[in-house]
Structure 1
């Protein structure tokens, strides 16, 4: 049996839906309920906005980490005494002129040796000799050469730091942090206050409010190294000496390589120089957790936005069943209905992406302005964000659009 293809009656043309009419129908569908359309795209706004803000803030903070790393960490070298254990008496490996030897290297700004003074149990720091010994403050006493305070780059509330003269002559002076001063009841230096470490008196010549390096000095009592040696002896096995070095920008790696040989050319193995950390590793450690956390948040917001668009589009399909049936009866094809609802959901997603991109960019700029930073946003991020919103909307509208295309005209008109 030979089958013949059924021919379309003459004068009847297949229905077509131009792009202009498709967009007009989609816009009309969204404007019928503007409040619901705005709320539908809110999830996409939050998701795309979070996406742009996360990448922008990450790039901005990364540049700040780099600059701060260069300004502080990249100019700091510490040297540890690893040879004291080889000495039968546990004496320090640093020579008496270790500061001068390091400062002779090109690129060194300041350098000094320090150690924690091992005090007897029950020895406290007091502001008055007549006070009960048990009523004093438990504090760390740090013996340091004058170069240590200079390398720490302190900010002083009052007074000054001690210098090489105080250290060389063994003066009984002390520099304390503002926190320690507050605990001891010292508000200024006008009255020439003194503190007592056990029964030993020290004149307070400086109160430090902040330091760029070695932050534990803020809660310590810092006295000259030669003074500490006269009172409590040289550093021993329980309090190994270290050296703090501040360098010019870019000189730290070289100083770390040369430090041990400069301190003791005969036994450089007695010292371990610790160079600044790798800037790439530091940047990765600082930003990786932030990236993962906020990108996960942005992904969750995008999923919520996609679910919201899908739910609203599906509800619109059910509410407009009669309209869909009438259009099908008048000749609209299934792909026309699919195209209309996909256009609506895609438009809502793209609109949410555009608004989210703007909000994310404004957030990055405002945060950077508030912190006196330079905002950094990659152009690819701004260009890709609206496309992500469009893709989210199209993906969310697939099932509702397919559901709408399956509605039969006769069934829809009976409702």
Structure 2
């Protein structure tokens, strides 16, 4: 019997297997899931990055804020101060003191000058040593050695003192050679002077002086707070003219300091302007850089150390996660995940940790700058580039820290992982 066999139909070819892919959205979701799975450990891991980025933002913000305050103070005080030094002995060893008797009047006639006056440290006549000061007439040798400064009334006004008691001596006291003095609050406390209502007197080199005022603070020449100030004419009468070391303090209008510094030596001595050295205000750029450079370098180094610690913490945590999730990695590889997918997953997790740490650190650093500015009554200054760069630094730190653990995870073999 003949039988007809059915023709076998050819089997359909297998469907092509598409190339496995890892969408960016899925990658971010996996990274967030891995970070939130152990939130406490993730928070501690981010701490180093938070501190590093926060220190970076705070340092740059505080230095920028401090620089603006230095500029403001420079404009108000330093830009309006000129000092004239007597260097006559450097030019001619036989020259006498260069400042004339009417030095203050000559300089105050210049345009832009508010106050001007001569001052010098008084030395005992004959011995050339400093004077002693006492609260009672117990003799010169029994007094306390203090810095006694002869200063004209114009020099006092140029220093811009703030009095706690009494008043400053003026042109009348200078013209009549009155024996009055103005002292700092610290010296008053050392001498036991608590009030001026009783018109207390002190003894300078054995000579009695009435205390006219007590100075609490000065805007210029803070060393005057530690000195006993007497009128220059009185000092000349009692102890003679200064052999050297006299100088003039000039307070000018804003913007006039450079011009005054150039004109003052000629106004003082038209015959010998070279006997004086005029010291104009310093350059504000060099002043700002000298004040802030050391501080900035120190704290940026501290920020770098914190970032290194943060990177080590992220690397360690990510490596531990690789060891804990070896089975998961093997399963992913068995289901078609390629090495680059595993590498990308762990780099995304470490980068997410670093990025969140950078964001938190930026916020904390900004708050620190605002807090300091608020306490000091400053205007906070933050450069937008710093705020934009700081989170990226945290992100880069996390990615760099995750390179080795990610490569370690990518090298896991599926069979060995599943067998374990």
- How big is the shift at 1:199? 2.2
Secondary structure of residue in 1 paired with 2:145: coil
Is the counterpart of residue 192 in structure 1 residue 188 in structure 2? no
CA shift at 1:166, angstroms?
0.6
Q: 2:269 aligns with which of 264, 272, 292?
A: 264
Matched, 1:378 2:403: no
Counterpart in 2 of 1:125? 133
Greater CA radius of gyration, 1 or 2?
2
Query: Structure 1 length as normaliser, TM-score?
Result: 0.94
Match of 1:172?
Answer: 179
* CA distance 1:86–1:336, change in 2 (3 Å): closer
Normalising by the residue count of structure 2, what TM-score does the alignment of the two structures yield? 0.93
Alignment of 1:304-319 (within 5 A): 304-319=309-324
Residue of structure 2 in register with 1:5 after alignment: none
Q: Residues 123 and 131 of structure 2 are in contact (CA less than 8 Å); yes or no, is this contact kept in structure 1?
A: no
- Which deviations, in whole Å up to 9, do the C-alpha atoms of 1:137-178 show, x marking residues without a partner? 111111111111010110111111111111111111111111
Cα deviation 1:92-146 (Å, max 9, x = unaligned): 11111111110000100100011111124585211111x3544421111111111
Match of 1:326 among 322, 331, 340: 331
- 1:162 alignment counterpart: 169
Selected match of 1:216 from 194, 212, 223 = 223
Structure 1 position 247 matched with structure 2 position 252: yes
- Separation in 2 of the partners of 1:44 and 1:88? 65
Matched, 1:49 2:59: no
Shift of residue 234, structure 1, vs aligned partner: 1.2
- Given the alignment, which residue of 332, 343, 368 partners 1:363? 368
| Partner residue, 2:6 | none
Equivalent residues in 2 for 1:7-406, closer than 5 Å: 10-84=15-89, 90-119=95-124, 120=127, 123-129=131-137, 131=138, 133-236=140-243, 239-406=244-411
Give yes or no for contact 2:149–2:229 (8 Å, CA) kept in 1. yes
Provide the alpha-carbon RMSD of the alignment: 1.6
Looking at structure 1, the residues matched to 388 and 189 of structure 2 have their Cα atoms a distance apart, in angstroms, of 54
How far apart in 2 are the matches of 1:396 and 1:64?
Answer: 39
Mapped partners of 2:179, 2:248: distance in 1: 22
Contact 1:338/1:405 (CA < 8 Å) preserved in 2? yes
- Contact 1:50-1:297 at 8 Å conserved across structures: yes
For these two proteins, the number of residue pairs brought into alignment is 405
Q: Give distance in 1, aligned partners of 2:16 and 2:325.
A: 31
How has the CA–CA distance of structure 1 residues 308 and 144 changed in structure 2, closer, same or farther, with 3 Å as cutoff? Answer: same
- State the alpha-carbon separation in 1 of the partners of residues 111 and 296 from structure 2: 40
C-alpha deviation, 1:84, in angstroms: 4.0
Partners of 1:84 and 1:240 within 8 A in 2: no
Mean Cα displacement is larger for which, 213-222 or 113-122? Answer: 113-122
- Return the offset for 1:10: 3.3
Structure 1: state its 5+ residue gaps. Answer: 1-7
Q: Which residue is 2:10 aligned to?
A: none
Change (3 A) 1:348 1:198: same
SS at match of 2:182: strand
- Runs of 4+ in structure 1 over 6 Å off: none
Q: 1:53, 1:364 → 2: CA distance?
A: 6
Q: What SS does the corresponding residue of 1:276 show, helix, strand or coil?
A: coil
C-alpha change, 1:165 and 1:87, in structure 2 (3 Å) is: farther
Tell me how far apart the structure 2 counterparts of residues 61 and 382 of structure 1 sit (CA, whole Å). 18
Aligned partner of residue 255 in structure 2, secondary structure: coil
Unaligned runs of 5+ in 2: 1-12
